[in-house]
């Protein structure tokens, strides 16, 4: 007789109910643990995959196109989708968290598997190009062309005659117009704009895309126990310019130098000469994107000036040349320069995007 059977017989000869109960509890916990591990494993693979657990090229391409990716982008990502076993691309591209996890995995795979640094930079550039295209696509969101598409509870800001700005919210959208909550004055009293008053309104979609439209006060109505101001419908809702690049707020030191740009004519053609001046100015980067920086400094330069800026987005010091497109003065001293890159290396651009999306964290 085998040792296992002997031990089993020795145990089952015992007739202690308390010990039997303990055995059942232990066996039940072990079984539950195995089931839980299986669920977790299936859940992890299922988040990228699905019930079939087979990569589908056509499904991946269809999901990528629906998300807003161009043919060049999805061709690049397809190989990584297969390697990372993306079995459920619809879920991945529809879920911002899973999509970001997929891109981060691709980034790490590039870091680990690419032999030459030049090849790695090229692949990072393609990866971030696809990521930025998705950002633009998501920012655009669904097209809104009429106020009839607004939903109840949409925050709206309108500008009345005299350039006063008032925030409100929609309480109903009917055939006769958009009913909004009355705005109040400093004493808490409702401001009753006259019928026919022209207003300029602004609102944002769930995808953070801004829109504007012009309207007029159509009437005042009673909705239950509350009064509401009705705005006339507009079928000329227009989108506000969207940011071209994802942006990340930060507080990082930087050094910038003023660049003196002069023009001269050579054989009838204008040429620009740029000379970096040797005086360094300290600053603090308050936001960063692939398009430029927001720099707060006591020595902020005026719009139209050119600078050379040195900064570290996470791994090493990067250098870029930029133009000051806007400068907002601060009450105390200095101001905030909003600069746009005019010359930057692909390596520096990849480092910035890695920081913006958190892939280097």
For the chain, first and last CA: distance in Å? Answer: 60
Is residue 50 within 8 A of residue 63, CB to CB? The reply is no
C-alpha torsion 349→353→356→358, nearest 10: -130
What whole-number distance in Å separates Cα of residue 252 and Cα of residue 313?
A: 8
Give the model confidence (pLDDT) of 14-37 as tens digits. 455 555 556 556 566 666 666 554
* DSSP category for residue 302: P
Q: Which pair of tokens denotes residue 361?
A: 């964290």
CA dist list (Å): 327 to 288, 292, 340: 16, 13, 12
pLDDT at position 43, please?
40
Is residue 114 within 8 A of residue 120, CB to CB? The reply is yes
Give the model confidence (pLDDT) of 244-280 as tens digits. 677 888 999 999 999 998 888 888 888 888 899 999 9
60 phi and psi angles, rounded to 5 deg: -65, -45
SS3 (DSSP) at 40: helix
To which residue do tokens 């970096």 refer?
A: 276
Spatial CA neighbour of 295 closest among 274, 318, 324, 260: 324
Range in 32-36, 204-208, 224-228, 281-285 the model is least confident about: 32-36
Range in 121-125, 164-168, 341-345 the model is least confident about: 164-168
188 phi and psi angles, rounded to 5 deg: 85, 10
What whole-number distance in Å separates Cα of residue 175 and Cα of residue 122?
A: 54
Give the model confidence (pLDDT) of 281-316 as tens digits. 999 999 999 999 999 999 999 999 999 999 998 878
Interval 222-239 mean pLDDT = 93
Instruction: Please report which confidence band the pLDDT of residue 76 belongs to, taking 50, 70 and 90 as the band edges.
Output: very high
pTM: 0.59
Strands (E), 6-110: none
pLDDT at position 101, please?
92
């Amino acid at each position: 007789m085998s040792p296992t059977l002997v031990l089993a017989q020795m145990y089952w000869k015992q007739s202690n109910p308390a010990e039997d109960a303990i055995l059942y509890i232990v066996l039940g916990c072990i079984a539950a643990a195995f089931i839980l591990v299986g669920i977790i494993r299936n859940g992890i693979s299922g988040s990228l995959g699905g019930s079939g657990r087979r990569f589908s090229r056509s499904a991946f391409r269809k999901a990528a196109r629906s998300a807003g990716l161009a043919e060049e982008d999805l061709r690049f990502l397809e190989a990584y989708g297969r390697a990372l076993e993306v079995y459920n691309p619809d879920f991945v591209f529809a879920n911002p968290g899973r999509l970001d996890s997929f891109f981060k995995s691709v980034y790490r795979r590039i870091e680990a598997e690419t032999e030459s640094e030049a090849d790695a930079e090229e692949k990072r550039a393609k990866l971030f190009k696809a990521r930025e295209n998705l950002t633009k696509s998501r920012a655009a969101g669904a097209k809104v062309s009429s106020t009839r598409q607004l939903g109840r509870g949409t925050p709206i800001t309108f500008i009345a005659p005299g350039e006063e700005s008032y925030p409100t919210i929609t309480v109903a959208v009917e055939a006769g117009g958009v009913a909004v909550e009355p705005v109040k004055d400093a004493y808490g009293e409702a401001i009753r704009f006259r019928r026919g008053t022209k207003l300029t309104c602004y609102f944002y979609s769930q995808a953070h895309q801004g829109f504007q439209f012009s309207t007029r006060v159509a009437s005042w109505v009673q909705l239950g126990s509350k009064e509401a101001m009705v705005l006339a419908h507009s079928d000329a809702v227009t989108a506000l310019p969207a940011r071209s690049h994802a942006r990340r707020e930060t507080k990082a030191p930087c050094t910038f130098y003023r660049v003196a740009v002069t023009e001269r004519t050579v054989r009838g053609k204008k040429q620009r000469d740029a000379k970096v001046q040797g005086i360094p100015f300290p600053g603090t980067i308050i936001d960063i994107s692939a398009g430029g920086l927001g720099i707060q400094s006591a020595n902020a330069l005026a719009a139209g000036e050119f600078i050379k800026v040195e900064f570290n987005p996470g791994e090493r010091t990067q250098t870029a040349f930029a133009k000051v497109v806007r400068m907002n003065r601060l009450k105390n001293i200095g101001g905030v320069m909003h600069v746009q890159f005019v010359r930057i290396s692909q390596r520096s651009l990849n480092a910035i995007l890695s920081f913006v999306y958190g892939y280097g964290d």
